[in-house]
Amino acid sequence: MKKTLVVGASPNPARYAYMAVQRLKEHGHEVLPLGVHNGEIAGIPILTGKPELEGIHTVTLYINPFRQEEFYDYLLDLKPRRMIFNPGTENPAFMWRAKLEGVEVVEGCTLVMIKTGQF
């Protein structure tokens, strides 16, 4: 299973990031929600700030390109193997930089990828 960081996590069950955390957990992935507000999703506390993490396989983004800028170095320093840009998060500059660092860049929907077995 792939240790996954969900960036843009929210305690609001109507948000796609919330649903992604739930589905990832249901499918046996170790999932770490990272957001702005404290709370929890499926019993997992939402992390805030830029915590020290290790062993991240996948980063899946649920924040817009403008908000991503402050996380460029942080996320790339985690050395993920893959970064998923969900609809509305596509960011050519960050995608290019991630590719240069050897990260597999995917433009797709995490929820669809899980449902179709492509995650």
Q: What is the pTM of this model?
A: 0.96
Structure confidence by residue, pLDDT tens digits, 68-119? 999 999 999 999 999 999 999 999 999 999 999 999 999 999 999 999 999 9
- Element spanning 92, H or E: helix 92-100
Nearest by Cα to 45 from 57, 30, 58, 32: 32
Structure confidence by residue, pLDDT tens digits, 18-74? 999 999 999 999 999 999 999 999 999 999 999 999 999 999 999 999 999 999 999
Fold for 4-115, please state it.
Rossmann fold (3.40.50)
Which residues are CB-contacts of 118 (< 8 A; sequence separation ≥ 6)? Answer: 108, 112
Q: How confident is the model at residue 116, as a pLDDT?
A: 94
> What is the Cα–Cα distance from 48 to 8, expressed in whole angstroms?
10
Domain range annotation of the chain: 4-115
